[in-house]
């Protein structure tokens, strides 16, 4: 906080601050919602992995868009950095203050939790940025609809945070990510001016797609306060299969065939023999087949209530793939049995983290490869890790239909990112993305230009500068705001 004038330095945790800006902010949101007590601040200053942490001048918790407007006006005038925060479930350090250097304020949007009635005619809903995914799901399911994005952190992740990071999740193959669900946004620009487009219009060619631009911008272009979201028809008629295969190439052939045949594919996940072995050992799960295979697909279909027997449809589609591709398969429909199969895939994260508690935290990379390069990538990343870190363990799993693999490397020290660097360079060489769904945040900033190229990064920087000339919105995140004048 070296740049902060003495008078503007963070004050005590009592109601009356030596910090004039915080005094003014208290008049906007009330003293209870300008948090300076270090113990209370802490949960907003550290991300949930514990890897990214810093110190905020204060945490402010507005309850309405007009309070957000007032806060940004004041912070813009004072040149005070703002770190917008939702459920603080991010993985790349994009929602916590780390290195702002000007006494950043964390703005938690969780109190913007209004849920408007579901619009049954359009199949849309308008909600506040602070509504959690779980609360959104309960709300729309109560009205006979569902939401197209689902992910593990549903109890904490907020709509605003999910939009700011363009969250993907478990059903992207069917419904797309958050960008595909956002029909409109209300957001507040860095200087406190509000933009709003919440009419839910499906066709609207009136200039640049500002909502699409803000989606995935990681809090650097505006603070999202409300969203109009499209809903999807519920598909309760579900079947889950685990399919064992000999090679990843076979798995890709299965994906292509199933996509062409089934309109009901909700998820196609992949994991491998070594990951499954770890999951079964450590999470006490039963392997799906007596004889292990090299590659596993977890496939979920979901259909309307009146649809014919989903297990039959899925098992026929799998049978048509033939024994050349399918070594073994297990198909279930009962909720408990479906959950049990899903655990095989979902437990990967926890058992890898548990192993990391013993041998050192896993290096986690979240990458997309073009479909045509996936097999090559898996071969080469295995060789690469074996060569660079012979004692390291590599676990891969992910969303195969999206080309999205989670690369987990256990072994190298936490601050030794040579393997990370080599893996990400391999991804870029093969035409992939260094961040499939987690975003850039702080964690991937140094690789952004490698991936997107200098022209695209400079274009992003120019856009950022245009919308936030004082660089107060999440300045440490995404593209460095070089050339942006400090106020």
Residue 462 makes contact with a second copy by CB under 8 A: yes
> Closer to a second copy at the Cβ: 19 or 186?
186
What's the CA gap between 54 and 52, in Å, rounded? 7
Q: Determine if 478 is a binding residue for a second copy (CB under 8 A).
A: yes
Query: Minimal CA–CA distance to 414: which of 447, 384, 443?
Result: 443
Residue 255: CB minimum distance to a second copy, A: 8
Near a second copy by CB under 8 A, which window of 4-12, 66-74, 113-121, 335-343?
113-121
Contact 163, 178 (CB under 8 A): yes
- Binding residues for a second copy restricted to 333-362, rule: CB under 8 A: none
For a second copy, the binding residues in 243-272 under the rule CB under 8 A are 252, 256, 259-260, 263
Q: What distances in angstroms separate CA 290 from CA 274, 285, 327, 329, 418, one per listed residue?
A: 15, 13, 11, 11, 39
Closest distance to a second copy from the beta carbon of 54 (Å): 22
Least spacing, CB of residue 369 vs a second copy, in Å: 8
* Under 8 Å between Cβ of 358 and 275: no
Among 31, 273, 463, 484, binds a second copy (CB under 8 A): 463
Q: In the bound complex, what is the minimum distance in angstroms from residue 177's beta carbon to a second copy?
A: 7
Interface with a second copy (CB under 8 A), residue total: 79
Q: Provide the minimum distance between the beta carbon of 357 and a second copy in the complex, in angstroms, as a whole number.
A: 28
CB 330 within 8 A of CB 341: yes
**Is residue 221 close enough to count as binding a second copy by CB under 8 A?**
yes
Among 2, 117, 203, 358, indicate the residue that binds a second copy (CB under 8 A): 203
91 interacts with a second copy by CB under 8 A: no
Closest CA to 401 of 273, 214, 267: 267
**Between 81 and 200, whose beta carbon lies closer to a second copy?**
200
User: x-or-dash pattern for a second copy, window 115-134, by CB under 8 A?
Assistant: ----xxxxx-----------
Residue from 371, 388, 422, 484 that binds a second copy (CB under 8 A)?
371
Helices and strands (H and E) in the chain: how many:
16, 15
Stretch 224-243 residues interacting with a second copy (CB under 8 A): 233
Segment contacting a second copy by CB under 8 A, of 69-77, 214-222, 328-336, 345-353:
214-222
Pick between residue 283 and residue 307 the one whose CB is nearest to a second copy. 307
Q: Candidates 27, 138, 193, 320: give the one binding a second copy (CB under 8 A).
A: 193
Q: Which is nearer to a second copy, 4 or 170 (CB)?
A: 170
User: In the complex, what is the shortest distance from the CB of residue 223 to a second copy, in angstroms, rounded to a whole number?
Assistant: 14
Q: Edge-to-edge strands of the sheet including 404-410?
A: 328-332, 237-245, 295-303, 265-272, 393-399, 404-410, 363-368
What is the x/- site pattern for a second copy, positions 422-461, by CB under 8 A?
A: ---------xxxxxxxxxx---x---x--xxx-xxxxxx-
Find all residues with CB under 8 Å of 18, minimum gap 6, and list them.
7, 9, 11, 12
Secondary structure, 3-state, 425-462? HHHHHCCCECECCCCCCCCCHHHHHHHHCHHHHHHHHH
Q: 42 or 179: whose CB is closer to a second copy?
A: 179
Q: Give CB contacts under 8 A, 24+ apart, made by 113-117.
A: 114/226, 115/139, 117/143
Residues 6+ apart with CB under 8 A from 446: none
Which residue, 75 or 467, has its beta carbon nearer to a second copy?
467
Looking at the DSSP assignment, which residues form a beta bridge with residue 243?
Answer: 297, 329
If one asks whether residue 277 binds a second copy (CB under 8 A), the answer comes out as no
CA distance 125 to 159: 12
Which residue of 111, 115, 194, 343 would you call a contact of a second copy, by CB under 8 A? 194
Minimum CB separation from a second copy for residue 432, in Å? 7
User: What is the closest distance, in whole angstroms, from the C-beta atom of residue 90 to a second copy in the complex?
Assistant: 11
Candidate segments 125-133, 193-201, 275-283, 316-324, binder of a second copy by CB under 8 A: 193-201
Site for a second copy in 162-191 (CB under 8 A): 165-166, 168, 172, 177, 179-180, 189
The string of DSSP codes covering 175-205 is H--HHHHEEEEEEE-TTS-EEE--S--S---
Cα 140 to Cα 123: distance, rounded to the nearest angstrom: 10
Report yes or no: 215 and 178 within 8 Å, Cβ to Cβ. Answer: yes
Q: Does 474 bind a second copy (CB under 8 A)?
A: no
Judged by CB under 8 A, the chain residues 286 through 325 that form the site for a second copy are 304
- Subset of residues 390 to 429 that bind a second copy, contact rule: CB under 8 A: 399, 402-404
What is the smallest separation between the CB atom of 162 and a second copy, expressed in angstroms?
11
State in angstroms the smallest separation of the CB of 118 from a second copy: 12
Q: Is the dihedral of CA 145, 151, 156, 159 positive or negative?
A: negative
411 or 432: CB nearest a second copy: 432
Pair of tokens at residue 209: 């797609």
The pairing of beta strand 105-108 with beta strand 82-85: parallel
- Helix (H, G, I), strand (E, B), or coil: what is residue 463? helix
CB 149 within 8 A of CB 133: yes
């Amino acid at each position: 906080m070296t740049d902060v004038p003495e008078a503007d330095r963070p004050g005590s945790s009592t109601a009356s601050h030596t910090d004039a800006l915080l005094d003014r902010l208290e008049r906007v949101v009330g003293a209870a919602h300008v948090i300076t007590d270090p113990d209370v601040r802490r949960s907003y200053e550290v991300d949930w992995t514990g890897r990214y942490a810093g110190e905020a001048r204060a945490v402010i918790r507005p309850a309405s868009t007009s309070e957000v407007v007032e806060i940004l006006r004041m912070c813009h005038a004072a040149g005070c950095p703002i770190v917008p925060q939702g459920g603080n479930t991010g993985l790349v350090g994009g929602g916590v203050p780390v290195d702002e250097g000007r006494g950043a304020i964390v703005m938690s949007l969780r109190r913007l939790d209004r849920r408007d009635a579901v619009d049954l005619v359009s199949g849309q809903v308008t909600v506040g940025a602070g509504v959690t995914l779980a609360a959104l799901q309960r709300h729309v399911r109560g009205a006979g609809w569902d939401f197209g994005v689902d992910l593990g952190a549903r109890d904490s992740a907020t709509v605003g945070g999910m939009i700011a990071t363009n969250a993907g999740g478990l059903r992207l193959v069917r419904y797309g990510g958050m960008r595909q669900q956002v029909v409109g946004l209300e957001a507040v620009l860095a200087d406190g001016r509000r933009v709003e487009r919440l009419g839910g219009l499906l066709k609207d060619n009136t200039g640049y797609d500002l909502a699409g631009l803000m989606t995935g911008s990681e809090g650097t272009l505006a603070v999202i306060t409300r969203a109009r979201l499209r809903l999807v028809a519920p598909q309760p008629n579900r079947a889950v299969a685990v399919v064992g295969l000999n090679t990843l190439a076979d798995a890709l052939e299965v994906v292509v065939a199933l996509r062409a045949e089934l309109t009901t594919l909700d998820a196609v996940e992949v994991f491998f023999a070594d990951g499954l072995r770890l999951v079964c050992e450590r999470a006490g799960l039963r392997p799906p087949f007596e004889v292990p295979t090299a590659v596993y697909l977890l496939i979920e279909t979901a259909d309307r209530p009146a649809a014919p027997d989903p297990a039959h449809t899925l098992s026929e589609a799998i049978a048509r793939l033939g024994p050349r591709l399918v070594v073994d398969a297990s198909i279930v429909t009962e909720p408990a049995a479906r959950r049990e199969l899903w655990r095989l895939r979902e437990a990967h994260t926890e058992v890898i983290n548990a192993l990391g508690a013993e041998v050192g935290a896993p290096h986690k990379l979240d990458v997309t490869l073009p479909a045509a390069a996936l097999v090559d990538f898996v071969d080469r990343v295995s060789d690469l890790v074996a060569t660079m870190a012979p004692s390291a363990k590599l676990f891969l799993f992910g969303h195969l239909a999206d080309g999205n693999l989670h690369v987990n490397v256990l072994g190298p020290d936490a601050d030794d990112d040579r393997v990370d660097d080599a893996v990400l360079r391999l991804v870029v060489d093969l035409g992939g993305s260094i961040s499939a769904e987690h975003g850039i945040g702080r964690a991937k900033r140094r690789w952004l230009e490698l991936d997107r190229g200098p022209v695209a990064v400079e274009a992003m920087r120019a856009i950022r500068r245009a919308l936030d000339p004082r660089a107060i919105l999440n300045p440490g995140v995404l593209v460095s705001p070089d050339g942006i004048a400090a106020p």
